[in-house]
Copies of this chain bind each other. A is one copy, B any other.
Amino acid sequence: MLQALAPAAVQHPCSSPSAAGSTTEAPWQRGSAPGPQEHPGTELPRLLQQCGLPLRRRLVHDGDVIYRSGDAFTDLHLLHAGIVKTVATSSDGREQVVGLHFKGDWLGFDGIAGRCYGCDAVALDTGEVWSVRYDTLIAAALDRPELLGLLHAAMSREIARDRASMLSLCTLSADARVADFLRQWVEALEQRGLRTDRITLCLSRAEIGNYLGMTLESVSRALSRLAKARVIRFAEKGRRHVEIPDPRALGACIERSLEPGTAVQ
């Protein structure tokens, strides 16, 4: 887990004097004008450092809590490495994994409106989180509109992603939901330029099931069926390592399961 957490990444920022290349378009729009779904990648860390923002860096491990529902909202958190889940809890005690977050994602947007976080953020893996005070971040963004643009884009992506989850939850069968879950995971890796033929599910079956609105047994069965259909393959050691020879086969699998009377296999 967490390849290449170089020691250099742990020392403090506040270096590299500002040298933002001028852009022809409005500064609060994304500087490099990438494709519609591409991930901003590495420009954000550089920008944060250029602004001289006081970041607090923190190494986290599996199970570490980054913030809890109800904690006073003061910071936004940039996930610099690792994987984090966000868990919502209703007043009557129901728990629900509502999001998975990868490198480059921001955490804590849901706390802005209510002045306190609305869910728990828990690390699923070794990783690193950069925390910035929200008010200093906004103060800096007022001087550097491109930073504001990146923030807005991140919030916008979060909203779009939540909607995609709802679509998946409401319109797909349990098996298809699992396939779609894998597809989304692969997509997240792809956008970050990581290898996509093999993924490590750092959640238990129970967590996956909770996220997808089904039981852990159904998740297990769905994965077994996908494996039997040769869409995925379990790596030799441990059933949390999944090989995905062709990611597009997952999509085909989902579409096939939409036709009535068609199971995965």
Give A residues with C-beta under 8 Å from B. 26, 28-29, 36-37, 86, 88, 90, 92, 94-96, 98-99, 109-116, 118-119, 135, 138-139, 142, 145, 148-149, 152-160, 162-167, 169-172, 210-213, 254-255, 258
Integer count of this chain's copies in the complex: 2
Contact (Cβ within 8 A) B171 A94: yes
Chain B residues closer than 8 Å to A154, beta-carbon distance? 113
Chain B residues closer than 8 Å to A119, beta-carbon distance? 163
Q: List 16 A-B contacts (CB under 8 A).
A: A86-B163, A90-B167, A92-B255, A92-B258, A96-B167, A98-B167, A99-B163, A113-B154, A113-B160, A138-B148, A142-B148, A155-B156, A162-B163, A166-B166, A169-B213, A170-B212
Distance between Cα atoms of A170 and B142 in the complex (Å): 39
Chain B: which residue is nearest A213 at the CB level?
B170
Which residue from B149, B162, B166 sits with its C-beta under 8 Å from A159? B162
Q: Pick the 5 closest A-B CB pairs, nearest first.
A: A170-B213, A112-B156, A113-B156, A162-B162, A113-B153
Give the shortest distance, in Å, between A103 (CB) and chain B (any CB): 17
